[in-house]
C-alpha cells in the first residue's frame, strides 16, 4: 500500500523497546548490521567495534524494565553509540521519548540527532540506579536532510568500567499519528431507489506514533435511511464486532443527528476511542461498515458522503487534538417515477348495442419525470372499438397500447376509450402502466373494471339486480 502524497514520510524506530530478540536474563547479541548471525538485534546499530548490543530481561539482577519485558545497556563491551538511521522529510516535526537509568550509580548519556555525518547533541541525561528517568522532546528535520540519525552516546558511567552503564528502554522517535481515511460505497452503482448501499471506511495511521482516542463519525447523506443492526467492525482491533446493542458497543447510530459513530482502536469502549497503531505495526489499519437505504429523494441524483475522524497525539507533553476527513464516496442513483393508473367506466351494466366509455388516467407522483410511459389496455372480446380521445400520445386498438411518452413529475395524462357491446357477456379488463424508470411503488401500476352486457340473465345476475 502506498502512502498518500499529502502525508509526510512516516518515521518510526524499529524495535524501540528492545523486545527482540527475546532473552532469558541477559545476552550480548550482534547489532542489525550482522544479518548473517542466527540472532541479532533488529533496527539498532552500534559504533562498538565488536558490533555487540547488550539486552537484559526485566528483573535480571533486580532491575525491572520500564516498558515491556526487556531493555538495553548502552555500554556493552565498550563505550559506544547506539543508533538508527531513518528516512525523513525535511520540515517534519519529530517526537522523541525515552527511559534512562544508571546501573551502578549516576550514569550519563547524550542524545544526538542530525545527518549521519553531522549529528548534533540535543540533550544529556543523568540518572541513578534506583529509578527510571523519563524524558520527551521534539526535533524538526532541517532543509535537505532526507536521512536522520537518532543516536545515544555514552558520556560517563559510575564505577569507571567501560562495559557497564546507561540502561535504555521505551525509546520512541518519529512522526505524530496521521490518520488517513478512505471511503467507498458498495456496490458502486448506478443503483435504484430502494436499493441498499454499504459504506465501508478504512482508517490507517500513516504516522509514527499511535493515534489515541480515535472516533470516526459519518453523517448519513440526505434521502438515505440507516439500516438497523448494520454497524460492524470488519478489520483491525475488535474485528467482527456488531453493534446496536444497548450501552456496551463501540459504535452506535444517533437518530437525532442522523449520524453513525465508531469508537476505534485497541482498548476502545462504549464511551471513548482506543489506540490505533501505525501502519508499520498494523498495515491494514481498521475498517468499518454500515448500510443505508436509498429513498425517493435520491432518485436521479449523485449521493455523496464523507466520513471524519478525531484523535489525539500523545507524544508531546499534553494531548494534541487532530482530525481527518475521508475522500468522497459517490453513488449514482437512477431516476424513479411513481406512476398510478386509474380506470373507470361510465356504466357497469349495459345492453347489447350500447356504447361503453372508459376513462384512463395516469399520474406521475415523481420524484423524476417518467419517460417511455405506456399503458396496455386491450379491449376484451364482446366489445368493438369505436374511438379514442387523448391529448397525450397515441392509442393503437389492435394492441390496446396507449403510448404516452413523457409524463413530468406531478403531471397527469388522460385517455377516453369508446367501444360497442356486441354480445351479452361479463367483461373485465385491466390497464397496466409501465415506464423506463423504476417505480418505487408498483402496487398502483394496474387497475381493472368489470362491465356486464345484458340481456344475458345468467351473466348479469352477479352484476346488478333486474328491475
Domain residue spans in the chain? Answer: 26-175, 179-332, 337-460
Q: Which residue has the higher pLDDT, 159 or 444?
A: 444
Dist CA 184 CA 330 (whole Å): 8
pLDDT in tens, 384-418: 999 999 988 999 999 999 999 999 999 999 999 99
Q: Which residues pair with 145 in a beta bridge?
A: none
Largest CA distance in the chain: 130
Q: Looking at 237-241, 272-276, 412-416, which range is the least confident one? A: 237-241
Angular region, 220: left φ>0, alpha ψ -120 to 50, beta rest: beta
Closest CA to 434 of 408, 410, 393, 405: 405
Question: According to the model, what pLDDT value does residue 189 have?
Answer: 81
* pLDDT average, residue stretch 356-384: 95
**pLDDT for 5 beyond 90:** no
- Topology alike, domains 26-175 and 337-460: no
Q: Does domain 337-460 have CATH number 2.60.40.1530?
A: yes
**pLDDT for 199 beyond 60:** yes
Chain-centroid distance of CA 166 in Å reads 46
Grid coordinates given for 126:
543523568
pTM above 0.75, yes or no: yes
**pLDDT for 460 beyond 80:** no
Instruction: Using alpha carbons, list the distances in angstroms from residue 450 to 365, 384, 421, 431, 445.
Output: 27, 16, 13, 12, 18
pLDDT in tens, 24-44: 999 999 999 999 999 999 999
Question: According to the model, what pLDDT value does residue 467 have?
Answer: 40
Closest CA to 416 of 445, 380, 386: 386
Question: According to the model, what pLDDT value does residue 159 have?
Answer: 83
pLDDT in tens, 351-363: 999 999 999 999 9
Dist CA 29 CA 35 (whole Å): 11
**pLDDT for 459 beyond 80:** no
Half-sphere exposure for 193 (CA within 13 Å, toward CB): 21
Q: Looking at 82-86, 235-239, 285-289, 418-422, which range is the least confident one? A: 235-239
Grid coordinates given for 236:
483491525
DSSP 8-state code for residue 442: G
* pLDDT average, residue stretch 125-145: 97
pLDDT in tens, 141-189: 999 999 999 999 999 988 887 778 999 999 999 999 999 999 999 998 8
Grid coordinates given for 68:
515491556
What's the angle, vertex CA 220, arms to CA 337 and CA 271, rounded to 5?
Answer: 155
Q: Which residue has the higher pLDDT, 248 or 279?
A: 279
Which of the four pLDDT bands, split at 50, 70 and 90, describes residue 191?
very high
Question: According to the model, what pLDDT value does residue 241 have?
Answer: 65
SS3 459: helix
**pLDDT for 326 beyond 80:** yes
Neighbours of 385 (CB within 10 A): 15
**pLDDT for 205 beyond 80:** yes
Question: According to the model, what pLDDT value does residue 1 have?
Answer: 46
DSSP string, 409-441: TT-EEEEEEEEEE-S--EEEEEEEEE-SSBPS-
Q: Looking at 328-337, 435-444, 458-467, which range is the least confident one? A: 458-467
**pLDDT for 367 beyond 90:** yes
Preceding omega of 455 cis (within 30 degrees of 0)? yes
CATH number of 179-332: 2.60.40.740, 3.10.20.740, 3.40.50.150, 2.60.120.620? Answer: 2.60.40.740
Q: Which residues pair with 342 in a beta bridge?
A: 361
Question: According to the model, what pLDDT value does residue 466 have?
Answer: 43
**pLDDT for 302 beyond 60:** yes
**Residue 276, φ and ψ in degrees, nearest 5:** -110, 115
Share of the chain above pLDDT 70, in %: 94
Buried-state track 428-441, b at ≥16 Cβ within 10 A, e below 16:
ebebebbbebbbbe
- Cβ 412 vs Cβ 433: under 8 Å: no
- Cβ 214 vs Cβ 261: under 8 Å: no
The torsion angle over the Cα atoms of residues 180, 311, 315 and 21, rounded to 10 degrees, is -60
pLDDT in tens, 213-231: 999 999 999 999 999 999 9
Question: According to the model, what pLDDT value does residue 86 have?
Answer: 97
**pLDDT for 118 beyond 90:** yes
**pLDDT for 448 beyond 70:** yes
CATH number of 26-175: 2.40.128.20, 1.10.150.120, 3.40.1190.20, 2.60.120.260? Answer: 2.60.120.260
* pLDDT average, residue stretch 84-98: 95
pLDDT, averaged across the chain: 92
What is the tally of helices (H) and strands (E) in the chain? 1, 34
Half-sphere exposure for 454 (CA within 13 Å, toward CB): 15
Dist CA 41 CA 28 (whole Å): 10
Pairing of strands 446-454, 349-351: parallel
Neighbours of 240 (CB within 10 A): 8
Amino acid at each position: 500500500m502506498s502512502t498518500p502524497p499529502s502525508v509526510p514520510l512516516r518515521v518510526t524506530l524499529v524495535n524501540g523497546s528492545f523486545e527482540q530478540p527475546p532473552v532469558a536474563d541477559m545476552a550480548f547479541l550482534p547489532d542489525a548490521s550482522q544479518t548473517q548471525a542466527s540472532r541479532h538485534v533488529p533496527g539498532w546499530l552500534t559504533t562498538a567495534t565488536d558490533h555487540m548490543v547488550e539486552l537484559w530481561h526485566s528483573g535480571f539482577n533486580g532491575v525491572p524494565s520500564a516498558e515491556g519485558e526487556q531493555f538495553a545497556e548502552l555500554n556493552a563491551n565498550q563505550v559506544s553509540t547506539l543508533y538508527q538511521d531513518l528516512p525523513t522529510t525535511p520540515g517534519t516535526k519529530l517526537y522523541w521519548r525515552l527511559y534512562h537509568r544508571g546501573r551502578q550509580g549516576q550514569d550519563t548519556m547524550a542524545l544526538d540527532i542530525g545527518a549521519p555525518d553531522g549529528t548534533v547533541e540535543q540533550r544529556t541525561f543523568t540518572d541513578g540506579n534506583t529509578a527510571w528517568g523519563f524524558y520527551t522532546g521534539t526535533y524538526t528535520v532541517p532543509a535537505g536532510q532526507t536521512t536522520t540519525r537518532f543516536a545515544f552516546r555514552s558520556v560517563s558511567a559510575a564505577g569507571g568500567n567501560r562495559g557497564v552503564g546507561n540502561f535504555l528502554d521505551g525509546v520512541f522517535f518519529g512522526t505524530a499519528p496521521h490518520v488517513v481515511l478512505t471511503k467507498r460505497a458498495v456496490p458502486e452503482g448506478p443503483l435504484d431507489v430502494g436499493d441498499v448501499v454499504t459504506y465501508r471506511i478504512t482508517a490507517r495511521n500513516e504516522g509514527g506514533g499511535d493515534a489515541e482516542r480515535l472516533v470516526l463519525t459519518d453523517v448519513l447523506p440526505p434521502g438515505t435511511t440507516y439500516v438497523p443492526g448494520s454497524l460492524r467492525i470488519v478489520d483491525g482491533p475488535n474485528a467482527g464486532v456488531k453493534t446496536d446493542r444497548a450501552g456496551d458497543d463501540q459504535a452506535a447510530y444517533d437518530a437525532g443527528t442522523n449520524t453513525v459513530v465508531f469508537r476505534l482502536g485497541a482498548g476502545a469502549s462504549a464511551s471513548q476511542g482506543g489506540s490505533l497503531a501505525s501502519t508499520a505495526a498494523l498495515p491494514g489499519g481498521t475498517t468499518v461498515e454500515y448500510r443505508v437505504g436509498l429513498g425517493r429523494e435520491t432518485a436521479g441524483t449523485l449521493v455523496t458522503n464523507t466520513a471524519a475522524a478525531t484523535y489525539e497525539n500523545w507524544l508531546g507533553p499534553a494531548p494534541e487534538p487532530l482530525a481527518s476527513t475521508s475522500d468522497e464516496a459517490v453513488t449514482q442513483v437512477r431516476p424513479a417515477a411513481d406512476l398510478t393508473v386509474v380506470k373507470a367506466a361510465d356504466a357497469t351494466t349495459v345492453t347489447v348495442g350500447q356504447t361503453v366509455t372508459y376513462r384512463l388516467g395516469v399520474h406521475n407522483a415523481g420524484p423524476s419525470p417518467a419517460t417511455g410511459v405506456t399503458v396496455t389496455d386491450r379491449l376484451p372480446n364482446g366489445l368493438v372499438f369505436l374511438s379514442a380521445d387523448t391529448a397525450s400520445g397515441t392509442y393503437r386498438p389492435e394492441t390496446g397500447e396507449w403510448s404516452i411518452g413523457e409524463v413530468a413529475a406531478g403531471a397527469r395524462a388522460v385517455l377516453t376509450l369508446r367501444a360497442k357491446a356486441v354480445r351479452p357477456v361479463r367483461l373485465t379488463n385491466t390497464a397496466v402502466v409501465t415506464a423506463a424508470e423504476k417505480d418505487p411503488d408498483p402496487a398502483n401500476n394496474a387497475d381493472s373494471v368489470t362491465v356486464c352486457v345484458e340481456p344475458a340473465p345468467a351473466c348479469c345476475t352477479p352484476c346488478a339486480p333486474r328491475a
